[in-house]
Structure 1
Amino acid sequence: MEYRSDLAGIREFFAARAAGWESRFPDDGPLFAAAISELGLQAGQFVLDAGCGTGRALPLLRAAVGPSGRVLGVDLTPEMIAVATAHSALAELAVADVGHLPLPDRAVDAVFGSGLVSHLTDPVAGFTELARVTRPGGLLALFYPIGRAALAAKHGRTLSPDDIRTEPRLRRALATAGWRLTSYHDPADRFLAVAVRAD
């Protein structure tokens, strides 16, 4: 499976797959739940699900911040947002490019991005925009329900040192954008990198 890295290509790729997306990954729920539980989200916080897709994380994020919290899911692809409306009672939804978010500065307490990194046309610019909308001390969690090596093998590829998700490259890109990488885990069954918004 090859992903396009231009916005029109990303939209086209996911639009064609939106209706059946969740059925392709029926066993990911516990991995999402474990990753979100590790973030230590608090009741009343405002969480952004950046690149929310069909909204698989939305119920878990809502449970983490409780009824006094706020969850906003944004995705570039209208078809994905349409599927995510099944979870619309749990979150606000918007069609938006992560590079140009419809939010004021320092508005959110945490950002959750599942599968996001490989779809950013310019990772540093995307991380910078996420930093803009996150308060100092806020969190950014970059998650995949499969490790990099396992994902590469699944698609018949080998790991590349040029992958933005390698620890050194991700650390540098995040630092350039105003984040400090605090944890990095890449076992076979998941990828989770957590960063804190610098002051």
Structure 2
Amino acid sequence: MDIPHPGARAAHARELAETRAFFARRAADWDSKYPDDSPRYAAAIADTGLTTGQFVLDAGCGTGRALPLLRAAVGPTGTVLGVDLTPEMLDRATAHRAEAFLVRADCTRLPLPDAVADLVFGAGLISHLPDPTAGLRELARVTRPGGRLALFHPLGRAALAARKGHPLTPDDLRARAHLHPLLRTTGWTPLSYTDEPTRYLSLATRTP
């Protein structure tokens, strides 16, 4: 996706650099910092309807925590592609290179053709997209009509805010009131929304 205005391009580049720097500093101890929440990931993946032989894109795959679980869901005939912006995170994800292809890319400009993915899985993704509108639109571009988007976090919004030591803010993009209109304008139809202490999961389908 091209950003035509020079000022917009410069702002986008700055935001990408800030995101990359944020995660680069945290990559080395990312997995040890958090408890093993694989069961929550597995439950979310099961709820997406992902099946054997499908193509799944793990957008913002980070250290690759979801990759083995996504591979188990699609089986040996499926395709798992992990995409992340930060080289240091992808270096950690290479531990899962037997389960997935890994690509360094900006989720607003993916090196993929149209309508290839059956599912886009984004764990903790939406809050870190430099341009959420452009990002969701690009994810829609690479998803087949009827394919799905899963925006996931192993903690709900309130629990995550509490862990970070601050209250929820009224402009939180992950709130249903903000997220669903954004999804509808970027090529998605919302399907379900769960925001509980131990789970955040918003499912949408690619609008034909």
Superposed pair shares fold, TM > 0.5 = yes
Q: Tell me whether 1:23 sits opposite 2:32 in the alignment.
A: yes
Structure 1's consecutive aligned runs of 4 or more residues displaced over 2 angstroms after TM superposition are none
Shift of 1:26: 2.5
Deviation at 1:14, TM superposition (A): 0.8
- Report the secondary structure of 1:47's partner residue: strand
Q: How many angstroms apart in 1 are the aligned matches of 2:44 and 2:72?
A: 13
**2:89 corresponding residue in structure 1:** 80
* 1:59 CA drift (Å): 0.3
Shift, 1:146, TM fit: 0.4
Equivalences for residues 153-192 of structure 1 within 5 A? 153-192=162-201
Structure 1 residue corresponding to 2:64, chosen from 55, 63, 67:
55
Bigger helix fraction: 2
CA positional deviation for 1:16: 1.2
Q: Take 2:108 and 2:99, find their aligned partners in 1: how far apart are those partners?
A: 24
Equivalence map 1:34-183=2 (5 Å): 34-183=43-192
Rounded Cα–Cα distance in structure 2 between residues aligned with 1:115 and 1:135:
22
Task: Give, in angstroms, the shift of residue 132 of structure 1.
Answer: 0.2
Q: CA deviation at 1:39?
A: 1.1
Q: 66-75 or 34-43, which moves further after superposition?
A: 34-43
Comparing 152-161 and 77-86, the one that deviates more: 152-161
Counterpart residue type for residue 138 of structure 2: E
Structure-2 separation of matches of 1:144 and 1:170: 15
Which consecutive residues of structure 2, in runs of 5 or more, have no partner in the other structure? 1-13
* SS of equivalent to 1:19: coil
1:187 Cα deviation (Å)?
0.4
The number of residues matched between the two structures is: 195
Amino acid in structure 1 at the alignment position of 2:149 = L
Q: CA deviation at 1:141?
A: 0.1
Q: Residue in 1 aligned with 2:17? A: 8
Rounded to whole Å, the distance in 1 between the matches of 2:22 and 2:171 is 23
Q: Matches of 1:151 and 1:42 in 2, distance apart?
A: 30
- Cα offset, 1:58, TM superposition: 0.2
CA distance in 2, matches of 1:158, 1:12: 25
Looking at structure 2, the residues matched to 19 and 159 of structure 1 have their Cα atoms a distance apart, in angstroms, of 28
Deviation (angstroms), 1:168: 1.4
Q: TM-score if structure 2 supplies the norm length?
A: 0.92
> Which whole-Å CA distance do the structure 1 matches of 2:168 and 2:91 have between them?
34
Deviation of 1:190 after TM superposition, in Å, equals 1.3
Q: RMSD of aligned C-alpha atoms?
A: 0.9
